[in-house]
Chain A
Amino acid sequence: SAVISQKPSRDICQRGTSLTIQCQVDSQVTMMFWYRQQPGQSLTLIATANQGSEATYESGFVIDKFPISRPNLTFSTLTVSNMSPEDSSIYLCSVHRGQNTEAFFGQGTRLTVV
C-alpha cells in the first residue's frame, strides 16, 4: 500500500490567483498522477509526473495552466494557475508502483474559486 498526504485539504481562492497543491508519499514511487474531479463528476487524468522527466499531459490540459513538479520519488506538486470559477474541483494525487499493481489515491484537495 501507500500513504499519500495532500496539502491543503481544501482552499477558497480568488480568481486570477494560483494555488500549489502538494503530494507527499510515504515511500518511493516511480509513477505519480494528478486527477481532477469536477463537482458531481468522475475523475479525469490531468497528467503523469515521473521523476526526472517532464510531466505528460492529457488532452485538454496544458503545462501553462497546470505546471507540475516532481523533484524526487516521494513528492510532487500541481499548480492551478490563473484560476477561474471553472477550476473549482477536487484535485487528487495518485501513485502507482508499477505493472500489475493498483493505484492509490490521496484524500484530495477541494478547491473553490470565487
Chain B
Amino acid sequence: AQSVTQPDIHITVSEGASLELRCNYSYGATPYLFWYVQSPGQGLQLLLKYFSGDTLVQGIKGFEAEFKRSQSSFNLRKPSVHWSDAAEYFCAVGNSGGGADGLTFGKGTHLIIQP
C-alpha cells in the first residue's frame, strides 16, 4: 500500500527566509506526486505535480519541488517566503493513473511565518 510521510508537523520560518518542506513516499511503481496547500477555511489548491520527466518541477506562487527516486522524496522549496504562505501543506501520492483511484495524503505540515 502506498503511504506518505511528512516528518515535520510544524515549521516556523521568518519572512523572506528560504523554506523546505519534506515529503517521503512509499509506492511500488513510479509515483505521481503532488503538493497541495490549504489556507484556513479554504479547500485544497494544487501547488505543483510530478508525473514524469524533469525531476525539478516548478509550481505556482514561486514554489518548486524535486523528485528524488533514490531517496523516495519529493521535497517542496521556496527561496523566499511571504506572510501569505502561512498555511497547511500536504504532500500526496497517486497511482499510475495520476491519482485516478484517489490520492494518499501525508499528515500535513503547518507553516508559520514570523515577521
- Where the two chains meet, the residues of A that have a C-beta atom closer than 8 Å to any C-beta of B are 4, 31, 33, 41-45, 48, 58, 92, 94, 96, 98-108
The answer on a CB contact under 8 Å between A101 and B103 is no
**Cβ of B43: which chain A residues have Cβ within 8 Å of it?**
4, 92, 105-108
**Cβ of B36: which chain A residues have Cβ within 8 Å of it?**
105
Q: Is the interface of A mostly helix, strand, loop or mixed?
A: strand
- Where the two chains meet, the residues of B that have a C-beta atom closer than 8 Å to any C-beta of A are 34, 36, 42-46, 49, 51, 90, 94, 96-108
**Cβ of B96: which chain A residues have Cβ within 8 Å of it?**
99
Between A and B, 15 residue pairs with Cβ closer than 8 Å are A4-B43, A42-B106, A44-B105, A45-B103, A45-B104, A48-B102, A92-B43, A98-B98, A98-B100, A100-B97, A103-B46, A105-B36, A105-B45, A106-B43, A107-B43
**Cβ of B42: which chain A residues have Cβ within 8 Å of it?**
107
Q: Bound complex: CA of A109 vs CA of B102, how far in Å?
A: 19
Closest CB in chain B relative to A57 CB, distance in Å: 11
Partner of B98, one of A41, A102, A105: A102
Partner of B51, one of A43, A100, A104: A100
Contacts A107-B43, A108-B43 given; does A102 touch B34 at CB 8 Å = yes
Partner of B100, one of A31, A44, A105: A31
**Cβ of A100: which chain B residues have Cβ within 8 Å of it?**
51, 97-98
Residue from A31, A45, A92, A103 having most chain B Cβ neighbours under 10 A: A103
**Cβ of B51: which chain A residues have Cβ within 8 Å of it?**
100
Contacts A43-B90, A96-B100, A107-B43 given; does A102 touch B107 at CB 8 Å = no
**Cβ of B34: which chain A residues have Cβ within 8 Å of it?**
102-103
Contacts A48-B102, A96-B99 given; does A102 touch B49 at CB 8 Å = yes
The answer on a CB contact under 8 Å between B105 and A99 is no
Q: Bound complex: CA of A45 vs CA of B101, how far in Å?
A: 10
Closest CB in chain B relative to A87 CB, distance in Å: 19
Partner of A45, one of B44, B45, B102, B108: B102
Q: Bound complex: CA of A96 vs CA of B90, how far in Å?
A: 18
Partner of A101, one of B98, B104, B107: B98
